[in-house]
Every structure is written in C-alpha cells, then in structure tokens.
Amino acid sequence: MKCVDDFRLMFGKREFVPIMIGGMGVDISTAGLALEAARLGGIGHISDAMVNTVADRRFNTKFVKDKLKQFKFNVTNIDKSIVKFDLGQLAEATKLHIGKTMEAKRGAGLIFVNCMEKLTMNAPKETLRVRMQAALDAGVDGITLAAGLHLGSFSLIEDHPRFRDAMLGVIVSSLRALQLFIRKTVRCNRLPDYVVVEGPLAGGHLGFGMDWKNYDLATIVAEIKAWLHAEKLNIPLIPAGGIFTGSDAVAYLENGASAVQVATRFTVARECGLPEDVQQEYFKASEDEIEVNQISPTGYPMRMLSKSPAIGDGIRPNCEAYGYLLDANGSCSYITSYNRELDANPGVKRLSVKDKTCLCTQMRNFNLWTCGHYTYRLKDTTHKLPDGSYQVLSAEHIFNDYQFSKDNKIALPG
C-alpha cells in the first residue's frame, strides 16, 4: 500500500510534498502553521481575513484603533455606508502580515495566502485589488482565491509585475463554477495554476446550499477532471474536505489528484491560532455537535460546533472597528437582524440574535468554532491525559502522519 510520500506535487518543474494546509481565517492558519508546512516541503496558507486586526495582534500596530477613532461618531447609527477602509492602511497591514511571514520562510515549500471575495469591505473591488496587489508586493508565493466566484479577480492584478510568475489558484465546489471562472479569466490570457476542489465536508463556509449532503467530493473531482481532459487543460487538481488520513489522500492521488488540501487535523496543532481551551472543545466534540447552519451573514452555509458561544449572541455590530462583511452599499444582514431584535426588545441589555451572527467580532474573538465534518475524530489522533484533556499536537507530527502513514492508520504523538 502506498503513502502520500510516494507522490509529488509538480508546479512546472518544481516538486513539493503534495500536502497543502488550507487557509483558515481569522488567523487560525497562523504564519507559524503555514511556515511549518513550507519547512516540511509542502504548501502552507495564511489568510488575509481581517488583516488589520491580525497585523495589530502580531506587530502591535494600531490599524483597528485608528479606524474606530475615525468612525466612532457612527457607532450607534444603523447606516454604515460611511464606514470605509483606508486603502493605504489596508495595503500596509497586508504587506506586514505577508512580508514578515515570507521573511521567516525556510525549507523547500511555499506560502500562499487565502483571499476571500466575500470579504466585501464596503468597497468590494477596490479593497480586493489592494489586498491582492499588496500580497504580490510582499512576495507571497501564491494567492488562493476563495469564497466567491472571483470572475473579475484576475483582471484586478493583471498589470502587476508578478501577475504571471506568482502562483494563482481558485477554490471551486462545482464544475460549473470552474467553467465560469475559466471563461472569464481567459481574457487575461492566464489560466489558474491550480484548482482546489472543495467538497461538502470541509470547514468554514461551504460552496453548497443546505442540500450539501447530496454532494460528494470524489464525484465532483471526477467531473472536473473529465472536463479538463476534454478541454485539453492541464491544471493540477487539489481535492479538499474530509481527507482525514494519509490513506484518504492516497486514494485521491492515485486517481490523478496533484495534491490534497487539508485543514481540520491542524486545528489542534500547537502552531494553530485557536486558543488551547477552544482546541479542547474541538477534541471533545461528538458527531451530533457538528452542525451546518445559515447564521453567517455571507449567505453561505457554514459548519461549526453547536456549542460555539457565537450562536444566538446578540452583540452590537462593530463595523466601525471591523466591517469586513459590509457589502457595496454598507449593509450586512447581521445589522438588519440585530436592529430587528433591538426594536422588539427595548431596554434589554444583552440581546439574543438567532438567525445571523456578527461574524467579524465572533471570529476575531474565537467565539465561532468553525470546523470540518470529521472534527469528532480528532480525539482519535492523540492521547487523553490524566486530567481528562487531550494532548495538543505539533504541526510537524500531523504533517508527517499525512505524509507517511499507510493502511488508514493515524500515528499517535510520542
């Protein structure tokens, strides 16, 4: 029986261990985690979700404070259309986060940034352009376009000197989404360098409706592979979502996948950004405590632990400080839900908002515990300690287990 190490991901003439750690916002896939993947010869992702906040935490900058100071007068106003990002500061924060990560890179692997279109930031096109251009300026090895169709994203960076040499990839959950993307980007005379095919068992937002159970990753990968073959397009395919063991990965690699993208196993790595008490919740989770719901204001279903403190919490929208989900008109569906509850419950100190969540604040505070479907198996990947808690793992241990394990086995830490 083969193991992942019997395969290599080829980007042109360059070879990598075919393991990509997926982007996990907000700073769950930290620089430290991505750097480990690169050091071990694979691909790591950081994320540019809420990059001003992430930069403040990492480098003691004051991007969030500055924005809040500028718009403080608007905090109680339900109209958030005035709350805009300073594009210069956004570029600076992105360059800091990515540039410092690239400086620290060791080993033969690569560092990519996960860039979500759904972070519309009250000026979708302008902010996305700045985020992508600043990422290229900062020397990132590649950009993975996520959470959206990204039909215009390539054209936003077409004039950048690194447009043709940086790796550019896209995450899709259907053949149709890929066809639309390729039809649009063909105008820039540039194909994606890789396509991540994300199935319905992934963590974070899902590219499916609430009927996600009707889909399966292997079928979607096979459809996309057949279409690429018929079109004579040779683009590496990277399945993601529910690939829990090295042997799960081998099954895809033997069927022609170029690599796999994985994330859930790394949520319990020491280098991961989740606080340790939250990691213990991931370890403890049982299958019936993992739900897909519609509380994300992005409109995509999202998978999370049903115990997440964010669920039902009715905090005041914090768009003056954050505001990453404000659409082109300065609206966010959480604001609508919050105001409805505020009107219905005058004088109530702590509101409960059930249908939507303030995703920015909740993700920033690690109160929304998004996770992959197989999170309930994490307890089987480590030791239970005498005090009842579970032993947190090193990213290297998890990476090596994916790379070298056979026969559906999972190696426990030493």
Ligand X SMILES: Cc1cc2nc3c(=O)[nH]c(=O)nc-3n(C[C@H](O)[C@H](O)[C@H](O)COP(=O)(O)O)c2cc1C
Residues 185-224 touching ligand X, rule: CB under 6 A, are: 198, 201-204
Regarding 146 and contact with ligand X (CB under 6 A), the answer is yes
Sign of the torsion angle spanned by Cα atoms 188, 193, 197, 203: negative
Query: Given candidates 28, 136, 269, 311, which one binds ligand X under the rule CB under 6 A?
Result: 28
Regarding 23 and contact with ligand X (CB under 6 A), the answer is yes
Query: Given candidates 175, 240, 311, 335, which one binds ligand X under the rule CB under 6 A?
Result: 240
Window contacting ligand X (CB under 6 A); options: 81-89, 172-180, 255-263, 342-350 = 255-263
Regarding 133 and contact with ligand X (CB under 6 A), the answer is no
Instruction: For the CB of residue 326, give the shortest distance to ligand X in the complex, in Å.
Output: 18
Regarding 18 and contact with ligand X (CB under 6 A), the answer is no
Regarding 323 and contact with ligand X (CB under 6 A), the answer is no
Q: Are 27 and 266 in contact (CB under 8 A)?
A: no
| CB-nearer residue toward ligand X: 42 or 203 | 203
Query: Given candidates 18, 25, 42, 273, which one binds ligand X under the rule CB under 6 A?
Result: 25
Q: Are 111 and 141 in contact (CB under 8 A)?
A: yes
Regarding 135 and contact with ligand X (CB under 6 A), the answer is no
| CB-nearer residue toward ligand X: 39 or 205 | 205
Query: Given candidates 18, 22, 207, 236, which one binds ligand X under the rule CB under 6 A?
Result: 22
Residues 262-321 touching ligand X, rule: CB under 6 A, are: 262-264, 267
| CB-nearer residue toward ligand X: 338 or 374 | 374
Regarding 326 and contact with ligand X (CB under 6 A), the answer is no
| Cα angle 334, 336, 338; round to 5 | 65
Regarding 242 and contact with ligand X (CB under 6 A), the answer is yes
Cis ω for the linkage preceding 392 (within 30 of 0): no
Regarding 128 and contact with ligand X (CB under 6 A), the answer is no
Instruction: For the CB of residue 407, give the shortest distance to ligand X in the complex, in Å.
Output: 20
Query: Given candidates 148, 241, 246, 330, which one binds ligand X under the rule CB under 6 A?
Result: 241
Q: How far is CA 407 from CA 247, 261, 380, in A?
A: 6, 20, 15
Contacts 24+ apart (CB under 8 A), 210-218: 210/292, 210/294, 210/301, 212/292, 212/301, 215/173, 217/241, 217/242, 218/252, 218/255
Half-sphere exposure at residue 157, Cβ-oriented, CA atoms within 13 angstroms: 27
Instruction: For the CB of residue 241, give the shortest distance to ligand X in the complex, in Å.
Output: 4
Total residues contacting ligand X by CB under 6 A comes to: 30
Binding site for ligand X (CB under 6 A): 22-25, 28, 47, 49, 114, 116, 146-147, 171, 198, 201-204, 240-243, 261-264, 267, 370-372, 374
